[in-house]
Structure 1
Amino acid sequence: MTPPSHEPPLQPPVEVALARVVPVLPAAPPGRRLAYEPKFDGHRLLIFRLGDTVRMQARSGRIVTRAFPDLAAAARPLPPGTVLDGEVVVWAGGRTDFAGVQKRAFAASESRAGRLARELPASYAAFDLLAIGTEDLRSLPYEQRRARLTALLEPLGPPLQAVPMTTDPEVAATWYASLLEIGIEGLVIKELDEPYRPGRHWRKVRHSETRDAVVIGVVGPRLRPRALALVLPGDDAPLISSPLSTAVRAQLSTALRDLPDPEPPPAELPTALDRVGAEIAYRPIAPDLTVEVRQEGTVRHSATRVMRLRIPD
């Protein structure tokens, strides 16, 4: 007889569950109940408490533990084998700051990561518990996973917290109307009896067709780029925008000139995919600029059009 394994059931990389956009807040089908959660536009992150260590995985599967030393320290009291899914959020002036969390995520060195942890402390909005101890919980209904998540995190408190959740459609509608002012762009909707599985089985509703994105690189001349390498909320995989309009190029030219001198480019430039899946090389820049974008077309072949540069308040 094979002895029981004491190894954690999940180790990175783990493929994450995703949500598809729907136009209106859905109601539950007859005889079913839905869960509604605020959608935090941060950096998607899985936290793994493995033995004596903590590891963190971005949505793409990339290991980003070094970028978040404050969250790694906060996760150490978790029981070994714990795997959380959620979003890293940075708060500034009472609102979520997507540009701030992207600066954290792309910290290039341990010293910079430590400095940014002090300047831009991170919060972790956990919305699922995938494993604990030697148990893989992904096959359990969301309602059970949610109950175990809140029981696990309530004694710990910030910066690890479970996202708010309601099963009351009227409360969800109130959240949708009122939370925009603190930077919550919408709600995620889940069925209470569904397991955790990769793919777009959740739903989300947003206030706007436009979103903010962080600029991490330029395609073409640095001060007059033809397109941009961008990172969208909840994702760490860069993408290439559609060709920039003349007005946006002029707006960006001034902002790019004001950035600190870039580090020498790498010997081989990184690449990202455009709307048709072609790999395009881009010149990296510090993630200090935020733009408003609109995604157009189908999910499979969506184009990301830059509408304007976001000017800090």
Structure 2
Amino acid sequence: MTVVSPESPVSPMLAKAVAAVPEPDSLPGGLQYEPKWDGFRAIIYADGSDVQIGSRGSKMLTRYFPEVVAQIADQVTVPCVLDGELIVRTGERGSERLDWEALSQRIHPAASRVTKLAEQTPASFVAFDLLAEAGESLLDAPLADRRARLEKLMAPLRAPLHLSQTTGDVVTARRWLEEFEGAGLDGVVAKGLDSPYTPNKRTMLKIKHHRTADVVALGYRIHKSGRGVGSILVGLYHEGTLLGVGGVSAFSDARRLELIDELDDVVERDEHGEPLTGEGERNRFSSNKDVSFVRLRPERVLEVQYDQMEGMRFRHTAQFARWRPDRDPESCTYDQLEVPVAWDLNDVLL
């Protein structure tokens, strides 16, 4: 039996992108549909007194969310391991939505700042899976059983600890995909009811409002005006090697200048403190263009919107969506990308 604890942390089960909400009979045993929360993935380890919060990359987030730790220690009396999402809510009652910007600011090195933000923008935890209970690992149990036990465990708990709702009705799931966007949610997730919990494997299905990817910043080019970042070069890992996949651009004048400061701490420098540069790829469109770039240490993850892939690269320039301080660069791999269903061109041409 697999031991699940902070000393032997479990990697979260992941999802692969699909274009539309699948039918319930897509998997034997049927599907369970859930809202896709737009927050920090978190594995909660609670033993009745001590509480630890693991991130998607198994790094501890405990120190950044003291208010959540206090609530779990107070309310969760049965030793357990929960899978879910940390979120921050904003707005008035009746028009509340998720606030990603406020959530991302919670990752701060200064303890005084962490304490202040815990009071100003308190986080909530939304549970959607139970990985262990009372010392028993549930990783091999089917989702239907894990969910039933999770509902029983969460029943007496109160805000800011929540249970994510589910449905087995595909019509409801498709309605969620449209309606919940207004509350800042990210889409819908589909899970096999007979499926065990598979750490670090993309066995869930996610349907998002936009086609997005988490990528690693590799470098940046100075804007043609000579001021600020013109484009960020980004990459993905493939079999342990970081490969360039394209660029991100279309920044405003003000944003270009902000990015210089935001990326300064990951700029590669020589022994004299001067930025190191690299030479980008040339093609028939850029033969006379300066393709040099400032090199960055591959430590910063950003989420981008893209239209489609062409081979191993983005076909067109991607759009910056946001920084992802909760993601480890090594987790940014090609298998997160949506792979279009194979279709014979002869069936398209008339």
Q: CA deviation at 1:292?
A: 5.6
- Aligned-residue Cα RMSD (Å) equals 3.8
1:22 aligned residue (18, 24, 33): 18
Indicate whether 1:281 and 2:282 are aligned.
Answer: no
* SS of aligned partner of 2:229: coil
The answer for the alignment partner of 2:90 in structure 1 is: 92
1:223 Cα offset (Å):
3.3
**Equivalences, count:** 276
Equivalent of 1:293, from 305, 326, 330?
Answer: 305
Aligned to 1:152: 153
Distance in 2 (CA, whole Å) between partners of 1:49 and 1:243 is 42
CA gap 1:302/1:46 in 2 versus in 1, 3 angstroms: farther
Q: Counterpart of 2:36? A: 39
Q: Residue type of the partner of 1:96?
A: L
Q: Is the 8 A contact 1:291 1:306 kept in 2?
A: no
CA distance in 2, matches of 1:216, 1:91: 29
Secondary structure of 1:79's partner? Answer: coil
What's the CA shift string for 1:166-225, capped at 9, x where partnerless? 1122221221221111112211001111111120111111122257x8999974679326
Equivalent residue, structure 2, for 1:133: 134
1:79·1:132 contact (CA, 8 Å) conserved in 2?
Answer: no
1:240-279 residue pairs with structure 2 within 5 A? Answer: 242-245=246-249, 247-248=250-251, 250=253, 252-256=255-259, 265=265
Identity of aligned residues (%): 32
Deviation for aligned residue 1:80: 5.1
Task: Compute the displacement of 1:39 (Å).
Answer: 0.2
Distance between the aligned counterparts of 1:251 and 1:296, measured in 2? 28
Task: Indicate conservation of the 8 Å contact 1:251/1:309, yes or no.
Answer: no
Alignment check: 8 A CA contact 1:125 1:163 kept: yes
Secondary structure of the residue aligned to 2:71 is helix
1:234 match:
none
Aligned to 1:10: 5
Q: Is the 2:15–2:206 Cα contact (8 Å) retained in structure 1?
A: yes
Separation (CA, whole Å) in 1 of partners of 2:230 and 2:299:
12
Cα distance, 1:256–1:51 mapped onto 2, change above 3 Å:
same
- SS of 1:145's equivalent in the other structure is helix
Q: Secondary structure at the match of 2:306?
A: strand
- Equivalent-residue separation in structure 2 for 1:16 and 1:135 (angstroms): 18
3-state SS, counterpart of residue 25 of structure 2? coil
Residue 280 of structure 2 is matched in structure 1 by none
* Contact 1:44–1:59, Cα closer than 8 Å, also in 2: yes
Is it true that 1:227 corresponds to 2:232 in the alignment? yes
CA distance in 2, matches of 1:309, 1:197: 29
Q: How far apart, CA to CA, are the structure 1 residues paired with 2:69 and 2:154?
A: 15
1-side partners of 2:79 and 2:90: how far apart?
Answer: 33
Where does 1:53-68 land on structure 2 (aligned, <5 Å)?
A: 53-68=50-65
Once residues 32 and 211 of structure 2 are traced to their aligned partners in structure 1, the CA distance between those partners, rounded to angstroms, is 23
Q: Normalization by structure 1: what TM-score?
A: 0.74
SS at match of 1:29: helix
Task: Look up the match of 2:168.
Answer: 167
**Unaligned stretches of 5+ residues in structure 1:** 1-7, 231-238, 270-279
1:173/1:249 Cα in 2 relative to 1: closer, same or farther (>3 Å)?
A: closer
Whether the 8 Å CA contact 1:41–1:98 is kept in 2: the answer is yes
Does structure 2 conserve the Cα–Cα contact (< 8 Å) formed by 1:218 and 1:225?
no
